[in-house]
Structure 1
Amino acid sequence: MAGLFTSLRDDASLWMDHLSWLDYERRVQAPDATVLLPVGALEQHGPHLPLGTDAMLATAVAADVARRTGALVAPPISYGYKSQIKCGGGQHFCGTTSVDAATLAGQVRDAVREFARHGLRRLAIVNGHYENQWFLIEGIDLGLRDVRLLHPQHDLQVMRLEYWDFLTPQTLAAVFPQGFPGFALEHAAVIETSLMLHYHPDAVRLDLIPDDPPADFPPYDMFPPRPAWVPPSGVLSSARAASAEKGRLLAEEVAQRLAEAVRSGFAR
């Protein structure tokens, strides 16, 4: 896995874990310092993408934003909340390695508290796993509660975002000329595969992309979950139309618009 990040880590000044504690202290205690914390999952992404896709993409997007804003990128939280049938394929796939909601919220809570202790005032959590969303919110809420109790004068602000929300309808129309199937069905499909072809082309097996029809889920959930609802490949709609050029288009828009959000969201 380390080799996959080599090209992204050429600029050591972006990466918190590549700095000494003294260099980090000087950076993080500046009044306008921002840290980007990627959060992903270890989850199947079909036969053509690696298990670490969610964390890899969240980290790559964060690095692009850091280059535009001067922010630092923290090491990712790489284990996410349990894969769900209708957006991630479910827990029945070998290799999908998930955590309970309280575990993920606890990790985020601790991270928020620790970054506040470092003196940071601006933390942006960049989520790359659909199922994480509400538990990131819980962790942020509990972490800020801790900060208010432990450091009453500290004014830490936290931003939470999903990178796919920064794609415009115009870009989605260009990437999906036959119609956008929706983000839930985009698991291991055109968006993620195209972004991986842009950021980590050596990690994509184009020859193994399945051509299953889109999953057709009912408008309800069942427990225990029904693995038969999911294509055997784990891909919820075909990635055959993915390309590195589409990935570049997606990545540039996401990075530009996310950087603008980081600048404006923390400004006051």
Structure 2
Amino acid sequence: MERYLSFLLIFIAWTAAAQIRNPANKAIYLEDISWTKARELLTPNAVVVIPLGAGSKEHGPHLPLATDYQQAEGYAKEIALQRNVLIAPIVSYGFYPAFLKYPGSTSINFETATATVVQIVRSLASYGPRRFYIVNIGVSTTPTLLMAAKTLADEGILLYYSRYDRQGFVQAEQPFRTRAYSGHADELESSNLLNLRPDLVDMSKAVNDSSMKGKSGGITPVMVAGGNLNTSGINGYAALATKEKGRKGMAAFAKELIREIDSVSTCTLPKAIDRTALYESYIGTYVDKAGTELVISQKGNRLFFLWNKIDTSNFFHLYQDAPDYFSSMNLNVLFVRNDLGQVTKAWCQFRGASFWVTKSN
């Protein structure tokens, strides 16, 4: 009997794993395929969808810390059923500073959050795709995505993302709000989780909390100078949530996501900025105190580097992230100009080490 039960549990676990993806899916999840299959699919015509949802951020006493993650995953499943896109793994860390007084909540700083998205997109774009869409389950993430989109547009890459205050999404959610006021871990989010993972929801702890109405900034479960006291972590009418509202609301929201993805697949791509003339001032050989050389060269619209005579041009090139500042997977460089505007030296970070180099030619 014990052996039978063990076999049954293994079979159930195997069956559950085998049913993770819906066989009716039109989309392909990158995490499910090999690199050789990815090589076939990551073409210039492909649209890559990247779900973005916090894996650990407070959502009141009744919802799990992974509420945003669960919603990002749920919307990705809806998209997968309806569109032939590539779906990247969920990005579960981002810029969520307002919730850090609630234990378990995580955030990365603005620059890191922006760079994370930029580097993920750049990595995938290097194989062919130029069109990317982020399912954005967040509000504070929006400015980081705006900055990422601007950076990538200069490189000829289109990045678009959902945002809750865009009219189409406001209209999609409106019929399922009992009260006009809402914001976080509220009626809609609670309904979404009841639809997706009712086993993770404890509605006996859901309360209606409007203590943040008319306020902005960070919230805190205990009184802290400069913070807004919110003992529940809820901003809205969570107790009004139902599974049916979640089912219908998510379907309406997903419909708008798909409409935007369709527009991404057909709209004109941004034109990459021609930086050939601008980059000429950086080209040359730079030397550190030990005599080790950093050689900066240009090919097309890109800068490449050789450090200590090691040629990595077939693997890494330098991306411009700010005026006179460039980064790659190994090297970060801030070029410094003299009073005449000429580049004379550079501050570098290479695999954790920081040093100055002086331009010799």
Q: TM-score, normalised by structure 1?
A: 0.80
**2:157 paired with 1:156:** yes
SS in 2 for 1:131: coil
CA contact (8 A) 1:112 1:140 kept: no
Letter matched to residue 35 of structure 2? W
Partner deviation per Cα, 1:244-265 (whole Å, 9 max, x = no partner): 1101111111112221221123
Query: What are the within-5 Å matches in structure 2 for residues 16-165 of structure 1?
Result: 16-29=30-43, 31-41=44-54, 42-84=56-98, 90-145=99-154, 148=155, 155-162=156-163, 165=166
What runs of 5+ residues in structure 1 fail to find an aligned partner?
85-89, 149-154
Give the alignment's Cα RMSD to 1 decimal: 2.6
SS in 2 for 1:35: strand
**2:205 paired with 1:208:** yes
Letter matched to residue 51 of structure 2? P
CA contact (8 A) 1:101 1:135 kept: yes
CA displacement at 1:236 relative to structure 2: 1.3
CA displacement at 1:187 relative to structure 2: 0.5
Letter matched to residue 141 of structure 1? K
SS in 1 for 2:159: strand
The structure where strand makes up a greater share of residues is 2
Partner deviation per Cα, 1:205-232 (whole Å, 9 max, x = no partner): 22221x24312445565898644x3321
The residue aligned with 2:21 is 9
Following the alignment from structure 2 to structure 1, what is the Cα–Cα distance between the partners of residues 246 and 210? 21
CA contact (8 A) 2:49 2:132 kept: yes
Partner deviation per Cα, 1:174-215 (whole Å, 9 max, x = no partner): 3224x311xxx4201111111111122222122221x24312
The residue aligned with 1:152 is none
CA contact (8 A) 1:60 1:199 kept: yes
The residue aligned with 1:87 is none
Letter matched to residue 213 of structure 1? D
Query: What are the within-5 Å matches in structure 2 for residues 226-245 of structure 1?
Result: 226-227=226-227, 229-245=228-244
**2:169 paired with 1:167:** yes
Letter matched to residue 203 of structure 1? L
CA contact (8 A) 2:172 2:249 kept: no
Following the alignment from structure 1 to structure 2, what is the Cα–Cα distance between the partners of residues 213 and 168? 21
What runs of 5+ residues in structure 2 fail to find an aligned partner?
1-15, 268-361
Following the alignment from structure 2 to structure 1, what is the Cα–Cα distance between the partners of residues 164 and 20? 18
The residue aligned with 2:258 is 259
Following the alignment from structure 1 to structure 2, what is the Cα–Cα distance between the partners of residues 220 and 158? 28
Q: How many residues align?
A: 243
Q: TM-score, normalised by structure 2?
A: 0.61
Partner deviation per Cα, 1:51-72 (whole Å, 9 max, x = no partner): 1111221222122123211112
Following the alignment from structure 2 to structure 1, what is the Cα–Cα distance between the partners of residues 21 and 62? 24
Following the alignment from structure 2 to structure 1, what is the Cα–Cα distance between the partners of residues 198 and 218? 37
CA displacement at 1:49 relative to structure 2: 1.1
Asked which structure has the greater CA Rg, the reply is: 2
